[in-house]
Structure 1
Amino acid sequence: MNTLNDFFYSLKKIIKDRLGISQLPIQINNEIEKLHDLWKNRKKNDIRKEYTGTLSDYNQQEINLIGGTTIRFTYDNDIIRKIINDKKYKVQKKSLRDLMDNILSENYLNSDWIYEIASYLQPNWVHDDDNIILIYFAPMDFYFIQDGKHRFTEALSKQDLSKELNIYIVSSDDCLRAMPYSDDVLLYRILCKIQNMLTFLGLQ
């Protein structure tokens, strides 16, 4: 697994390759160096003072960055549910087919978590909550299931692609207070800045 240092080095190369140039503009190079320094000089990862949860119910999501680097973000499900209520997110009816064809990426659906959950699913499993919560991870234009993987996998195992599911889709920008670790928040903000840079360069 590549490190985040590798990610920043790869980012420069990928930008140069996509723009067809041999050297980055000074302003872009300096901005990447500034973000890299921000990450390298961060304090030891800890629980943020702003975090008010207990981490009794959480999900860790892996995100694949350019250059082969994989990172992992932690989100508190209890606080995500509070955010849904506070922001007045509306439940949406989505078919299993719609989720698979138009929302969740092929790479995400082909990752190991579905097979792992399917291996221990029980018939007529009783769920405390029928809703499935998706987070739209804005910096990577990527959707993932924050809560409800068992419900999704159960529906998938029955091969009923027309089955309608109760879905909440929550923006990652609204979820910062559900991130308990300081490193996660810092990295998220760095990725947002990189996304803005790539958009400015016409690479998004």
Structure 2
Amino acid sequence: MGCCTTSVKIFSIIVNAVYVLSALVAIGWIAFNAHLMSEEFVIVTYTTCAIIALFGLVGIFAAIRESAVLTKTSAVFILVLTIMQIACTYWMPHLHKFRDVNMAWQTSDMDIMQQTYKCCGVNGAQDYVKLFEMVPPSCYLHFQVTANNLFVDGCNAKILSFYESEKAPLFMVSCLLMAFELIRCSLAVILVISFNNKQWPVKC
């Protein structure tokens, strides 16, 4: 039992360390690509990754200290996180899309969106024409105002296409994360049982 528990402890520490590192990498990736996402999504992602990293550290500390209470807490969090992950797998593909374009249309963020997604207006350059406005330079490739460089597609269509293309990779990553979380949960349960048996050994 002792050798088995030690092996599980070491494996749990490694898995949690990888999870903490992954959360930190995700935070860095979101920071680098924040302009492609809504402010709400960025805030939620930062918060979630920070919590994941925190409980990963809790899992490492619990395994080292052989604390059944902290390990239980970590296991419960992992279960909650897995349920949230399942919900996000369905919810994520429906994020952003038209709402973000309509919000950007009311602000100066439209210029950034048009250059990022290589699009023009909500439904096309005609949106500016209808308002008797000049088509902005951000509707042109590299801000070069020539007919050949004009972005033809509207931002609604471009962003919808972008997130549709992201569905499959997102689903695969989400499934991998859920599998990883279930492994962490299983390890936590095994450690809780081992720690409890060590603290209150069964008398024959």
TM range (shorter): under 0.3
More helix by share: 2
Larger Rg belongs to:
2
TM-score of the aligned structures, taking structure 2 as reference length: 0.25
TM-score of the aligned structures, taking structure 1 as reference length: 0.25
